[in-house]
Structure 1
Amino acid sequence: MIITGDDPEYIAFVKARFRDQFLMTDLGPLRYFLGIEVSSTSDGFSISQEKYIQDLLARAVLVDERTVETPMELNVKLRPTDGDPLPDPTRYRHLVGSLVYLAVTRPDISYPVHILSQFVSAPTTVHYSHLLCVLRYLRGTITCRLFFPRSSSFQLQCYSDATWANDPTDRRSLSAYCVFLGGSLVAWKTKKQVAVSRVLRLSCGLCLR
């Protein structure tokens, strides 16, 4: 159980009431939970999954120490038929599943993880090479973390974008958004649209999607 708030006295009261009813151990301030590391300073707190990434890289057994600057090359369009089928897709599925959980604190890999997740049923050598690219990117950015400042406005800002019929297989677009509360990134997502986008051309020359 995690108890949060900005009133230390009330938090102590709630914990005391719980101890009266249940066998409970107070582990102190939150530092590690389900693979997520939490660190706090006078300026704010940050969350990361550095140890989780280290364990993931160890399980991946990369044969080199290379790093890359981006998790996926620009304008990559992967198809189910690219490359040769992997003889055993178990490792690919395991690593992609781990990356999905890692994206909880790493919005910078949300897009490539979404792309790679589409091929878990029948991954190929090409898909696996792009998966290794994401892992090499994580190796070079292992200390990156999300920071939430203590002094921040409550202004809500949302940014969104979408590709235009980008998927080479079904021509559907990808949508993505991120939401900031003040200076804190609080929500993000990348998702394929459920329908194929179409262009409606009007006589006045406008183009509506």
Structure 2
Amino acid sequence: MIITDSDSSAISEVRQHFFRTFEMKDLGPLWYFLGIEVASSPKVYFLSQAKYANEVIHRAGLINTKLFDTPIELNVKLNITNGVPLDDPTLYRELVSCLVYLTVTRPGLAYAVHVVSQFVFAPRSTHWAALLRILRYLQSTIFQGLLFSSTSFLDLVAYADADADADWAGDVNDHKSISGFYMFLSDSLISWKSKKQTIVARSTAETEYRAMAHATAEIIWLRGLLSDLGVPQSSPTSLYCDNQSAIQIAHNNVFHERTKHIEID
């Protein structure tokens, strides 16, 4: 059964059922939950973590400091040996944990946070500098968040990419590439991920192809979830990728010697 905001009798029935089943009370319209602020109108919902982000910035002691337009320096290469070890890594680890939670409404931070989170076991001064840059960028964009429209078509669209084209095997620690995807329900972003691949790819095409495979798995799961929620996808889901070699491999399911090792993907 699908219940909309205008179906007041059904909403009241569900609410009363919860009251009878659980020990709970009605707190009114949702506006704040677990650090997430919710603003709504008849046409849109807006989720942000401005208050939580401000608390994180104050914890780091960043008041009236230089701001940045991007969360991470272009083509930055952090490793486990450069810089001086931090005397006390506790604050670094706490701030990284806070930033991970901030990616709930700030998907633009996902890649940068993924980078600094790789060094929580033994952070150094270079990692601390990268972390402060993220926080200064956050300070300049503190009121950004996620906007969900209630009037758009519910068509699922996906975008997949990897860092291979610009910097294949560029990680100086293990030479693995980072892949990611974004999933949109019409113009509303509903799912995203930035994650290091589990293997060292032999080419940029392989890296990009694996990124598409990860995105495809998410698409299949989301299509099933949307169907369970009463929003079945009647047409195929478009998956966009910017690597022509990976696209050609996806179009041709005949795997030859140079691509047979990625057949399972």
Q: Distance in 2 between matches of 1:74 and 1:109?
A: 14
**How many Å separate the matches in 2 of 1:63 and 1:137?**
13
Give per-residue Cα distances to partners, 1:147-199, cap 9 Å, x unaligned: 00111112211111112212111110100100001010000000000000013
Instruction: Give, in angstroms, the shift of residue 20 of structure 1.
Output: 3.0
1:32 maps to what in 2?
Answer: 32
Measured against aligned partners, the alpha-carbon deviations of 1:66-91 in whole angstroms (never above 9, x if no partner) come to 21100001111100111000000000
Aligned position for 2:177: 173
Please name the residue that 1:187 is paired with: 191
> 1:5: how far off?
4.1
Structure with higher helix content: 2
Q: Which residue matches 2:11? A: 11
Name 1:20's counterpart in structure 2.
20
CA contact (8 A) 1:179 1:186 kept: yes
* Whole-angstrom CA distance in 1 between matches of 2:43 and 2:81: 50
List alignment gaps of at least 5 residues for structure 2: 207-257
Give the C-alpha shift of residue 61 in structure 1: 0.8
Task: Give the structure 1 partner of residue 153 of structure 2.
Answer: 153
The number of residues matched between the two structures is 201
For residues 30-78 of structure 1, what are the alpha-carbon distances to aligned partners after superposition, in whole Å with 9 as ceiling and x for unaligned? 1111101111013211100000001111111125432110000111110
Match of 2:44 in 1: 44
Deviations 1:15-34 (CA, angstroms, capped at 9, x unpaired): 11222344322101111111
**What SS does structure 2 have at the residue aligned with 1:177?**
strand
- TM-score, with length taken from structure 1: 0.91
Q: Distance in 2 between matches of 1:106 and 1:18?
A: 32
Confirm or deny that 1:127 pairs with 2:127.
Answer: yes
Alignment match, 1:136:
136
CA contact (8 A) 1:180 1:186 kept: yes
Distance change >3 Å, CA 126–CA 40, structure 1 → 2? same
Structure 2 letter corresponding to 1:78: L
Specify the SS of the correspondent of 1:110. helix
Deviation larger for 53-62 or 116-125: 53-62
Unaligned runs of 5+ in 1: 201-206
Residue identity in the other structure for 1:165:
A
Equivalent position SS for 1:153: coil
Report the residue type matching 1:189 in the other structure: K
- Are positions 1:56 and 2:56 aligned together? yes
Q: Distance in 1 between matches of 2:153 and 2:170?
A: 36
Aligned amino acid, residue 180 of structure 1? F
- Report SS of the residue matched to 1:62: coil
Question: Given the superposition, is the C-alpha separation of residues 17 and 42 from structure 1 closer, same or farther in structure 2, using an over 3 Å criterion?
Answer: closer
Q: Which has the higher strand share?
A: 1
Distance 1:123 1:48 in 2: 29
> What is the aligned partner in structure 1 of residue 108 from structure 2?
108
